[in-house]
Chains A and B, each alone.
Chain A
């Protein structure tokens, strides 16, 4: 099976200092395979090596060791870039150009015929939600969120087979985030492979089929998101949220239920139980102390827990 992206032993050292050069390893022996047609989430804390990886794949930096292919072609192959797209983190473009001119210029670089370029640019600027009245404004007048939208549009100009988004939701308001989330999900529906790095875990949970977590330049975990989360689930299965009751009032009685754990919450308590059959007993305790039930929900290991566990050793 040909993978969309194959990374083998990718290592990147930076040299710091002027006279006495010191090597800092930003990425160490990263090996990763990304299947075609999926949304792949690339996670990690600040300085974990996410942007370094993407920049190396985009040949903005040269690897110290290792290799990588995209769509079966070595990353040094310039022509392969005809088939991929990239939106950098906090993108910045020629600010003397308008959004239309910028996209048209990039269209020229892709060799898109001038007859198709205008319509293509308008369609994409519309798809990323850039107001038509802003499309003729110079980019120096754009907000961060508007630049982000332009960045996403230019990454899709050539109908890429693989697209790399570095923090695609950065600078967007909640409405914008939702729109871009839908846009990214739509790309998968079209068969595009999306490789995205983000700090926003909700976006990963909502969008990604597979993830990789980087920690200090090394791969900490990788695989199917659902499997990774299942593998980290705890013992407790249900959480009962109750209001108008204090934890210290019911502590002794909850302690009698095997496997139950009590947490104080701002307006009441949360009780996690490991056996569904204990639910009635828990509800009976809280009722006796005047508590009223808010919710009963399954306890799921959140991506946040997984992320925190894997990225902070």
Chain B
């Protein structure tokens, strides 16, 4: 990495974003919009008076699930595909460091997810305005930010696995991290309750290594009109940034040693 790294990182990021857009990744938004529109129109009537809460719950959950699918499926193939198709040959014969490339890819996919999340957030807000809940339409946004931060961690995990493994295995492993990350508290409790020392060490080790996505889970509270306080928001931002830096650093170390056949 050098002083002139930034333009190259941004060039790689821009291209990764363009690839995702041209590969029709953002088409998921159509499904999302249909889902939200349908829920705004129909579900509200079924649950009389609770329509806004249903829209927020459904919208934010769908935002996380759709985003996770994109992060996993685009993330795991992002680097692998380039090695398989040999497009990396032309890239690394240019003055592009392997670290610059990985960081660029991460930023590019994160930007895609940011756009995706913002459009979905706007969709949920519009649905809330449609059912007449102006305050919720505004108060969901800090929670939307938390969801985006979680997606960046899933992206970094996917890219890490794809730097040394096949897409299928990487997708499976990333999905496992996603699931375990959501049961992080359970892991800690398990580590406390275990009788054997080895099991206790294993579960507490997993607890510390695996991302703790409870820092980013606020959908249920948001549906009740609550917003994360600044301490939670700030803590989650720092957590995501530090966690991503560690993951990307490990990825760069692995990727820098790779031979391309």
Contacts and interface: CB of A to CB of B under 8 A. Distances in A.
11 contacts: A59-B92, A60-B88, A61-B259, A81-B95, A88-B89, A88-B90, A94-B19, A108-B8, A110-B94, A110-B95, A111-B8
Contacts of B260: 55, 60-61
Contacts of A143: none
B18 to A, nearest CB: 7
B201 to A, nearest CB: 29
Given A62-B259, A96-B23, A82 B89 contact: no
Interface string B16-33: 001100110000000000
B15 A92 contact: no
A58 B92 CA distance: 7
Q: Which 5 A-B pairs have the closest CB atoms?
A: A86-B93, A108-B11, A96-B22, A81-B95, A88-B89
Contacts of A30: none
- A: contact size bracket: 20 to 34
A84 B86 CA distance: 19
A17 to B, nearest CB: 14
B91 interface: yes
Contact of B87 (A78, A93, A158): A93
Given A88-B86, A108-B11, A109-B8, A79 B259 contact: no
A177 interface: no
Contacts of A60: 88-89, 92-93, 259-260
B107 to A, nearest CB: 14
A213 to B, nearest CB: 24
A158 B93 CA distance: 12
Contacts of A88: 86, 89-90, 93
Contacts of B8: 108-109, 111
B2 interface: yes
B4 interface: yes
Nearest to B88: A60
A181 interface: no
A187 to B, nearest CB: 17
Interface residues of B, number: 29
Contacts of B91: 109
B259 A154 contact: no
B101 to A, nearest CB: 10
Given A94-B87, A154-B90, A109 B95 contact: yes
A106 interface: yes
B22 A85 contact: no
A79 B95 contact: yes
Interface of A: 14, 55, 58-62, 78-82, 84-86, 88, 91-94, 96-97, 105-106, 108-111, 151, 154, 158, 164
Contacts of A151: 90
Which of A55, A84, A109 has the largest number of chain B CB atoms within 10 A?
Answer: A109
Which of A78, A92, A111, A154 has the largest number of chain B CB atoms within 10 A?
Answer: A78
B7 interface: yes
Nearest to A151: B90
Contacts of A97: 15, 18
Interface in B180-222: none
B65 interface: no
B220 to A, nearest CB: 39
A85 B92 CA distance: 11
B259 A81 contact: no
Which of A60, A88, A164 has the largest number of chain B CB atoms within 10 A?
Answer: A60
Interface in B109-132: none
Nearest to B259: A61
Given A62-B259, A81-B93, A111 B7 contact: yes
A109 B85 contact: no
B90 A93 contact: yes
B232 interface: no
B95 A105 contact: no
B96 interface: yes
Contacts of B23: 96
Contacts of B142: none
B97 interface: yes
Which of B4, B90, B91, B95 has the largest number of chain A CB atoms within 10 A?
Answer: B90
Nearest to A88: B89
A109 B97 CA distance: 10
Which of B23, B92, B95 has the largest number of chain A CB atoms within 10 A?
Answer: B95
Contacts of B22: 96
B95 A78 contact: yes
Nearest to A108: B11
B163 to A, nearest CB: 15
Interface in B207-261: 257, 259-261
B105 to A, nearest CB: 13
A106 B96 CA distance: 10
B240 to A, nearest CB: 28
B94 A106 contact: yes
Interface string B47-87: 00000000000000000000000000000000000000111
Contact of A92 (B86, B97, B257, B261): B86
A97 B19 CA distance: 8
A105 B15 contact: yes
